[in-house]
Amino acid sequence: MEILPEILQQYLETHCEPEPELLKNINRETYLKVLKPHMLSGHYQGRLLSMLSKLMQPKCILEIGTYTGYATICLAEGLVEGGEIHTIEVNREMEEMIRKNFAASAFEKSIFPHFGDAQQIILELSGKVYDIAFVDADKKNNLTYFNMILPQVKSGGLIIVDNVLWKGKVYDSAANDTDTRLIREFNDAINVNDKVEKLILPVRDGILIIRKK
Ligand SMILES: C[S@@+](CC[C@H](N)C(=O)[O-])C[C@H]1O[C@@H](n2cnc3c(N)ncnc32)[C@H](O)[C@@H]1O
């Protein structure tokens, strides 16, 4: 379920930058060949990630949850010359498609895909300093990821977290399944954390923008 009505979504998509051809193809191929294609960021959210990245002019980005690489390429659009994006995917069955998609992009040399569990790979990347981190993997671990990466995010840097409205369930008091409770707890923990500024955007399934003070 999308948060925004379909008709509004269509209006937004026709009044932002067009979706680049490669991303259209990745979107199409993901819907044809891969399970749970709704996980892909898509046109409007992808343009938001691209815009944020271009505003931040990052040297180094971390993405947790590569899937088919759609958002990785959107974020890479804002990298400065010589910048890098590290993206982590646990599902090795995705590796061939991910590598093919990155090779087809203009950012192949800037994108460093890592395959394995995010917590392990975040530790392996512990020397990096991030301008942006995009957290979009197993939602139950959002708080673990946040606590692990916050020290590596520079002051003024962003941690962007996807799906924080969880199809509207986080603000529905009748919804109490485990995932909903954990996402609610994560949102509440960020809300009282005075090391960061935070803002939830009601885009797609809810995007939380966290800015390190
Ligand atoms: C929502 S999808 C990512 C979508 C992608 N960021 C985009 O916007 O197009 C989540 C991905 O996280 C991966 N994932 C789940 N748990 C993970 C973990 N512990 N470590 C690394 N990746 C994980 C899943 O296999 C899946 O491909």
Report d(CA 139, CA 144) in Å as an integer: 10
Ligand 1 atom 14 nearest Cα: 137
Atom of ligand 1 nearest to the CA of 40: 9
Of the CATH numbers 3.30.230.10, 3.40.50.300, 3.40.50.150, 3.65.10.10, which one belongs to the domain with range 6-212?
3.40.50.150
Residues within 6 Å of ligand 1 by CB: 39-41, 65, 67, 70-71, 88-91, 117-118, 136-138
Per-residue pLDDT at 1 = 52
pLDDT of residue 6: 86
C-beta of residue 75 within 8 angstroms of C-beta of residue 63: yes
Residue 203: predicted pLDDT: 92
Classified as helix, coil or strand, 97 is helix
Q: Where are the domains of the chain?
A: 6-212
Backbone angles phi, psi at 58, to 5 degrees: -75, 150
State the distance from the centre of ligand 1 to the C-alpha of 90, rounded, in angstroms. 7
What is the DSSP annotation of 8-28?
HHHHHHHTSPPPPHHHHHHHH
130-135 β-sheet, strand order: 111-115, 84-89, 60-64, 130-135, 153-162, 207-212, 196-201
Query: Rounded to an integer, what distance in angstroms lies between the CA atom of residue 97 and that of residue 92?
Result: 10
State the 10-residue block means of pLDDT for the chain, 213 residues long. Answer: 80 96 98 94 97 98 98 98 98 97 98 98 97 97 98 98 96 95 98 98 95 98
**Is 206 in a helix, a strand, or coil?**
coil
Question: What pLDDT was estimated at residue 200?
Answer: 98
d(CA 128, CA 62): 9
